[in-house]
Structure 1
Amino acid sequence: MAKKKTVYEKLCELASNLWWSWQPDVTQIFHLIDPDKWSELNHNPVLLLKEYSPEQLDDKLSSLSLHSRVNVAYRRWLEYMDRSDTWGSTNATILGHRCAAYFSAEFGIHESLHIYSGGLGVLAGDHLKSSSDLGLPLVAIGLFYGEGYFSQHIDKAGWQQESYTEAKTENLPIIPAYTPEGKPVMISVSTRSGEIFAKVWRINVGRVPLYLLDTDVPENSQEDRNLTARLYGGDQRTRIRQEIMLGIGGVKALEAIGIEPSVIHMNEGHSAFAPLERVRNRMHEDGFSFDDALREVAASCVFTTHTPVPAGHDRFDAALLEEHVGPLGDQLGLDHHALMSLGRVDPQNEGETFCMTVLAFKLSRLANAVSSLHGVVSRRMWASLWPWRSEEEIPIGHITNGVHMPTWLAAPMRVIYDRVLPTKWYYKTGQADVWSGIEEITPGDLWETHQALKNRLIHFSRDLLVKQAKRRGSSETEIGHLKTALNPDALLIGFARRFAPYKRADLVMKDMETFLKIIEDADRPVQFIFAGKAHPADERGKQIIQRIFKLTQEPPFRGKIVLLEDYDINLGRHLVQGVDVWLNNPRRPLEASGTSGQKVVLNGGLNCSILDGWWAEAFDGSNGFAIGEGRTHVNQEIQDDRDGLNLMKVLKEEVIPLYYDRNYDDLPLEWIARMKNGIRTLGWRFNADRMVMDYAEKMYLPAAGGLSSQIKGDSSL
């Protein structure tokens, strides 16, 4: 008879699987155990439980009457893990035999796991969570960054400063990966300058195992031990060494674990060496020629491109490629020219560098962009790879990004959803008809719930502002002002994302005279929250941060414009759940998709955005606001001037009047109608469940079944 588990053991098991991170009732248990510690430890349940002995925790749970809640949560988790009647078990049965493998350079799953920098990683994390919820047979491959991405602090001059903190694996829900024989997995990748070794870790994301390669092992030189220390750190040599570990090493890791996937999904070009290692395997094991092996492997590979910005595509010179991929080229029977040609648009152009995106396109038979407009841009951008086709026939389709609803939906909003949506609606969030009940929400309920979330955001922001000011050595007077920053009754606009120049965080300040007028309007006040990091090497992005910071210090804007440091998943969660309006004004068409605004929609916030990325196919005139008419100008300065004018126009003539148009009960009924329309029309479409189902049906199943070569010319996906 099996020994009965203690409540302490049950909580430890719950903490070991990141399923808890999208279960509000489970996170609430950890929060209640010690609210201050929970916050201080960055919501890490592994660390929280280390604060108590089993006996101390049992006493704590008893005093809080939490035993039954722990038992219910544990039972729910077991049922979730064992559930067999999933979408995947009905609609993706072929993957049950041999799963899909999802390769990504970063994964944003929870703020306590620092292996992400921004949107690409958070999208990858949402992909894993929805795959788990849907029961889609999937494994994921990435790198374990011991120091993660940088923490951001703004100094007295408003300049971004970066720092790194080493993560301790014993404080994370991470375990070694094992071979079928029960040995810890260790793999190596050959380069001209020697072998690079990596151990492999496993993190459980619900039903999906995430395997992370870590080069911090004694077998490596100090340089190579540091190879996976930082995400997007170092020079080009570091980058290509990280990418051979992710691609070549990732395939070797799966093989060592005993997993032979039927599909390789490359999430951006960082992992594009993976198919080459698969080609080598087919040649070695099945006696195929290179051309035949390439044809077979490419049929089972799919590729997602994420950026229309040229600088976002990794390129390496011939010497770097030869040093790091030359040994694999030898095994493939390729000389240096043939190897380089795989990453060149023009194989005969000796002056062209090796591009990872080009390699990914050449080694996959299904490729997609991440929004409809991005599909158009990508087909134009990469048309030279298929010179015999018209632009419309370029085989790059699109699957628009979506967000994982349980992760980003605020618990109070979920209570409202539970009242008006069908029973167990959360299992069917990617279906349009499930959302029709949103119209039944009473305006007062929706508004008061939103106001409560807005107040929570404001209090959270004030606490952060005070901590930031104290760290900078600000005066007690200034700290006192920050304790009352932001007005709960004023329109609150949020802007938070990577501070890349093309995202134009300071566009709203282009006409400072008009900007000041809307800020100082006593009858219809407007306030802004800004957050975001600039890449350490992006001087222009840092200058934009500095400009905004200095504005927050000027008397007319003090307390009405705030800049919050160290944008991460936790800060993002508060922002998307509490703002009235989410501002997004990239330089069209450089926003591939964008997902932050999709998270805002779920919580009743309204988007005010350039018609770019996902918003170009989402805006219907009554579910948010559009900046301009989706036009671009060949002159960048003219486009910025025009967009700046259009932004002020929509704020003054649409957003602000609608927000302050109240009835006798102080309810902005037309605004609330737009909130409901946004949730109803967008909640199911820009949803990670719908996105993952699209990937399964349009990419994974054809690739797994060997059908992809038959639809090579399909650019509609």
Structure 2
Amino acid sequence: MLDEFVDEERIAYFSMEIALRNEIPIYSGGLGVLAGDTVRSAADLELPLVTVSLVSRAGYCHQEINTKGQQIEHPDPWQPEDWATPLDAKIAVPIEGKMVWIGAWLYVLKGHMNGQQPVILLDTDLDENSAEDRRLTHTLYGGDSTYRLKQEIILGIGGVRMLQALGFQIREYHLNEGHAALLALELLRRYAYPKEELRPGESPYNLPRVRDLCNFTTHTPVEAGHDKFSYDLVQQVLGDFIDLATLKLLAGKENLNMTRLALNLSEYVNGVAKRHAELSRKMFPGYRVKSVTNGVHPFTWTHPSFAKLYDTYLPGWCHEPELLARAECCIADEAIWKAHQEAKQQLIKTVKEDTQIALDPALPILGFARRMTTYKRPDLLFTDIERLQAIARQQPFQIVLAGKAHPKDEGGKRLIDLLHAHQRELADSIPIAFLPNYGMDLALTMVAGVDVWLNTPLPPLEASGTSGMKAALNGVPSLSVLDGWWIEGCIEGITGWAIGDGKEGEEESALLYQKLEQVVLPLYFKDSNGWIAVMKGTISKNASFFNSHRMMRRYAAEAYLR
């Protein structure tokens, strides 16, 4: 089954999580969804990738909302054999002084055209391993720092060894975030100079060769967000895999910083938006960090009603999404509005089925859905309840929310509690629905069915963000804080609206209310032609550019073929 994938050189794409499909819950949020869109575009463009990730048998978490509005997490296991094929190869990696064996599953991601991509999912749940080691690939981002380090050994070191055992010819390696940085240590060992060629005291490691093989995409805009491990823990778990002096030179003196390790051993480094690349250069001065702004997969994130519309008026848009730039002039207003109403009715139906809340199709729906954590600030809209009610009395609107908090993120869980408290408080004035167990399918229903996509991160913590890009493919404009991709995507009044101007010290809640009350809602209620013009602007200016086809063509031209 692997024969068709091992006959040409490939780019090895490593990601701790990846969103392959809704039924395979091995992703937690934007990082995994981006990885999935990367591979989907590679399939469509027939770029030779092979992806390496973890099987994460226990999934991420299945979210239940109890009667008090609190998140209850349940395991979300999946059966690899239902979707993937077991592979014969087994390799081992050193963990805590013993060899832990790793098997693999092959998932073949098939594009909607002719392309397909191999995805290798690493699995330690083997008879050869102890009960403890069998669980190392069970839970995505589970356990403590020791568990995390062991998972990153499996992903990075184990992934390189598995590709070799399976017969893949690897041209280069692409690290999607620093979780896989240990793969560079495996390459250092693999391409070490022969001892007999070394002068006394000379390092055996061929750093230029390894750097030339590695590309690194960083996603984290703050120092505290990067994976770090104490060297005591590293020596306990990984032993003398690489001598400590060399490791400290490459990964930091105080602890093993996975981002710094990746930076030092990658020739090509990029951030995921222009602002994020600027921040990364400031965080890590002396490194050349380029910017390739993220994108989303056109076919996956376009509602069927809009896909049919684009097929009619802009044939070929899936392969060349830049054709969407013609939406403003080539698609009639009535056709855009009809497609949107179909998507909106599907969302209204989903809300009714899941929450028993009946939304009014005549009223605008504000949507907010993403990983629930404090810096995303889902509560910003509810800062001043009286002001929000006053706006709704004059210009009524509805709100649909969704998102999971990490099981260990108490702050994120409290936000979910708070949102439900606001829902109860506003029950008589603003219809609010919280849809449980946010995943890929629900995400598409929401980004296509709402009228306005709301995004309120605390700058500069949004490295990129992609949910607003998905909304743009469906003609849904964003109302967002100027952070991440929206700095590039916002053309005021044409693709959506900015909350503030990005300056520090702004009272963003007040600015949000002002923009909502004075600009967004009046346009919706009083100028339908003007509203549809913004929808068209969103498609032609943003959907045509912020897609993963453009992103992958950039990677191919600037990273893979350098």
- TM (normalized to structure 1)? 0.74
Is the 8 Å Cα contact of residues 282 and 288 (structure 1) preserved in structure 2?
no
Distance in 1, Cα, partners of 2:216 & 2:364: 41
Identity, % of aligned pairs? 39
- The residue aligned with 2:535 is 675
Say whether 1:497 aligns with 2:407: no
Task: Give 1:195-234 correspondences, 5 Å limit.
Answer: 195-206=99-110, 207-234=116-143
Structure 1 runs (4+) greater than 6 angstroms displaced? 284-289
Say whether 1:318 aligns with 2:318: no
- The residue aligned with 1:309 is 222
Is the 8 Å Cα contact of residues 187 and 198 (structure 1) preserved in structure 2?
yes
Is the 8 Å Cα contact of residues 551 and 557 (structure 1) preserved in structure 2?
no
Q: Compared with structure 1, are the counterparts of its residues 326 and 295 closer, same or farther at alpha carbon in structure 2 (3 Å cutoff)? A: farther
Q: How far did 1:427 drift?
A: 1.9
Would you tell me which structure has more strand in proportion to its own residues? Answer: 2
Q: How far did 1:362 drift?
A: 0.8
Q: How far did 1:382 drift?
A: 1.3
Q: Compared with structure 1, are the counterparts of its residues 378 and 557 closer, same or farther at alpha carbon in structure 2 (3 Å cutoff)? A: farther
Distance in 2, Cα, partners of 1:286 & 1:561: 68
- The residue aligned with 2:503 is 631
- The residue aligned with 1:294 is 207
Is the 8 Å Cα contact of residues 404 and 687 (structure 1) preserved in structure 2?
yes
- The residue aligned with 2:42 is 131
Amino acid at match of 2:354: L
Is the 8 Å Cα contact of residues 507 and 644 (structure 1) preserved in structure 2?
yes
- The residue aligned with 1:281 is 190
Say whether 1:598 aligns with 2:503: no
Task: Give 1:477-626 correspondences, 5 Å limit.
Answer: 482=357, 485-521=358-394, 524-554=395-425, 556-557=427-428, 560-621=431-492, 622-626=494-498
Amino acid at match of 2:382: M
Specify the SS of the correspondent of 1:209: strand
Task: Give 1:10-21 correspondences, 5 Å limit.
Answer: none
- The residue aligned with 1:104 is 15
**What CA deviation, in whole Å up to 9, does each residue of 1:62-118 have, x standing for no partner?**
xxxxxxxxxxxxxxxxxxx99xxxxxxxxxxxx985211100000012101111111
Specify the SS of the correspondent of 1:225: helix
Distance in 1, Cα, partners of 2:337 & 2:551: 29
Distance in 1, Cα, partners of 2:496 & 2:154: 43
Specify the SS of the correspondent of 1:200: strand
Say whether 1:649 aligns with 2:514: yes
- The residue aligned with 1:191 is 95
Is the 8 Å Cα contact of residues 244 and 324 (structure 1) preserved in structure 2?
no
Q: For structure 1, which runs of at least 5 residues remain unmatched after alignment?
A: 1-15, 18-80, 83-94, 178-183, 387-393, 467-481, 634-638, 663-667, 703-717
Distance in 2, Cα, partners of 1:291 & 1:308: 34
Specify the SS of the correspondent of 2:67: coil
Is the 8 Å Cα contact of residues 375 and 397 (structure 1) preserved in structure 2?
yes
Distance in 2, Cα, partners of 1:228 & 1:586: 31
Q: How far did 1:488 drift?
A: 1.1
Q: Compared with structure 1, are the counterparts of its residues 613 and 288 closer, same or farther at alpha carbon in structure 2 (3 Å cutoff)? A: farther
**What CA deviation, in whole Å up to 9, does each residue of 1:107-157 have, x standing for no partner?**
012101111111000000000000010010110000001111011112233
Q: Compared with structure 1, are the counterparts of its residues 659 and 195 closer, same or farther at alpha carbon in structure 2 (3 Å cutoff)? A: same
What is the Cα-based RMSD across aligned positions, in Å? 2.1
Q: How far did 1:519 drift?
A: 3.1
Specify the SS of the correspondent of 1:695: helix
Q: How far did 1:291 drift?
A: 5.5
Specify the SS of the correspondent of 2:192: helix
Q: Compared with structure 1, are the counterparts of its residues 288 and 271 closer, same or farther at alpha carbon in structure 2 (3 Å cutoff)? A: farther
**Equivalent of 2:298 in 393, 397, 405:** 405
**Equivalent of 2:525 in 660, 668, 673:** 660
Q: Compared with structure 1, are the counterparts of its residues 695 and 291 closer, same or farther at alpha carbon in structure 2 (3 Å cutoff)? A: farther
Larger CA Rg, structure 1 vs 2: 1
**What CA deviation, in whole Å up to 9, does each residue of 1:592-627 have, x standing for no partner?**
000010000011111011111111011122111111
Number of positions where the alignment pairs a residue of Structure 1 with one of Structure 2: 551
Specify the SS of the correspondent of 1:354: strand
Specify the SS of the correspondent of 2:546: coil
Distance in 2, Cα, partners of 1:618 & 1:165: 35
Is the 8 Å Cα contact of residues 392 and 429 (structure 2) preserved in structure 1?
no
Q: How far did 1:341 drift?
A: 3.3
Q: Compared with structure 1, are the counterparts of its residues 126 and 287 closer, same or farther at alpha carbon in structure 2 (3 Å cutoff)? A: farther
Q: How far did 1:190 drift?
A: 0.9
Distance in 2, Cα, partners of 1:503 & 1:545: 12
Specify the SS of the correspondent of 1:140: strand
Distance in 2, Cα, partners of 1:338 & 1:275: 13
Distance in 2, Cα, partners of 1:558 & 1:142: 46
- The residue aligned with 1:122 is 33
Distance in 2, Cα, partners of 1:380 & 1:103: 26
